[in-house]
């Protein structure tokens, strides 16, 4: 665990050193703030003290931001050769992948933490369903974990960051949109399976304040699948 942390900390430091983190925070807060408070179906339209509109906006902004964040994790290291350096140290492939995963998740958690003023504002307006807000944040965090896992998998497949970004977006689109759309058209068992695979149903039920273990398991298993895929890709060298 110590080495996983070492790698995660190094990643985080380099996020903040390379301005990547600040740009992400500013743009994420800018976009989600704009749509939450100013434009379209904003908080004031709801006529209720709740953050549902923010959650549904963050649902989309994170979908685009996370691939941009994860695209460099392994692709860049492979391109510059530092992956060889890292993999010949006394660390397991899993520690490398997990370290990167944790670093990305912490950064996203930080971004979400920065939206705390939204919550405080809404609290000052009226009675807030605190449970629903906590669930909403939890849903965002879990969804981020899934996309980070898939993004790291995409990043492990190539040494080109742009390709990694697009692959991550492609995989993401399947879960974010396609499965849901197809599921609503299909009927019977196929529709049910696809409906379950779609991100939307799980996210919606959770951000409304219903924590179902099936939803949690869904998010976590997506993340785990991505990370295991990335680890397999690294281990493709035929070693234990």
Site string for another protein, 55-84 (x = CB under 8 A): -------------------------xxx-x
Q: Check binding of 3 to another protein (CB under 8 A).
A: yes
Q: Check binding of 19 to another protein (CB under 8 A).
A: no
Q: Which two tokens stand for residue 134?
A: 């906590």
For another protein, which residue of 41, 85, 210, 217 counts as binding (CB under 8 A)? 85
Nearest to 52 by CA among 127, 119, 7, 145: 119
| Closest separation in Å from C-beta 240 to another protein | 7
Residue 30, exposed/middle/buried by CB under 10 A (0-12, 13-18, 19+)? exposed
For another protein, which residue of 25, 31, 49, 91 counts as binding (CB under 8 A)? 91
Give dist(CA 41, CA 37) in Å, integer. 9
Q: Check binding of 48 to another protein (CB under 8 A).
A: no
Q: Check binding of 18 to another protein (CB under 8 A).
A: yes
| Closest separation in Å from C-beta 46 to another protein | 44
Is the CB of residue 91 less than 8 Å from the CB of residue 231? Answer: no
Helix, strand, coil share (%) of the chain residues, nearest 5: 80, 0, 20
For another protein, which residue of 6, 48, 173, 184 counts as binding (CB under 8 A)? 6
| Closest separation in Å from C-beta 86 to another protein | 7
Concatenated DSSP letters of 146-187: HHHHHHHHHHHH-S-HHHHHHHHHHHHHIIIIIHHHHHHH--
Question: Which residue's CB is nearer to another protein, number 16 or number 44?
Answer: 16
Number of chain residues interacting with another protein (CB under 8 A): 25
Q: Check binding of 116 to another protein (CB under 8 A).
A: no
Q: Check binding of 1 to another protein (CB under 8 A).
A: no
């Amino acid at each position: 665990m110590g080495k996983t942390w070492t790698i995660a900390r190094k990643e985080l430091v380099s996020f903040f050193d390379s301005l990547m983190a600040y740009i992400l925070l500013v743009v994420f807060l800018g976009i989600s703030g704009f749509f939450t408070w100013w434009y379209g179906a904003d908080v004031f339209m709801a006529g209720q003290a709740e953050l549902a509109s923010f959650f549904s906006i963050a649902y989309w902004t994170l979908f685009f931001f996370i691939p941009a964040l994860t695209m460099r994790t392994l692709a860049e290291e492979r391109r510059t050769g530092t992956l060889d350096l890292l993999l010949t140290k006394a660390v397991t492939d899993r520690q490398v992948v997990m370290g990167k995963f944790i670093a990305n998740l912490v950064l996203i958690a930080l971004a979400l933490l920065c939206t705390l003023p939204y919550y405080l504002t809404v609290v000052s307006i009226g009675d807030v369903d605190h449970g629903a807000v906590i669930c909403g944040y939890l849903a965002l965090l879990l969804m981020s974990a899934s996309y980070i896992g898939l993004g790291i998998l995409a990043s492990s497949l190539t040494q080109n960051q742009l390709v990694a970004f697009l692959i991550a977006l492609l995989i993401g689109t399947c879960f974010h949109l396609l499965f849901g759309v197809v599921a609503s058209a299909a009927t019977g068992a196929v529709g049910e399976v696809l409906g379950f695979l779609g991100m939307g149903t799980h996210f919606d039920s959770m951000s409304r304040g219903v924590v179902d273990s099936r939803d949690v398991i869904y998010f976590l298993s997506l993340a785990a699948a991505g990370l295991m895929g990335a680890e397999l890709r690294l281990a493709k060298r035929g070693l234990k």
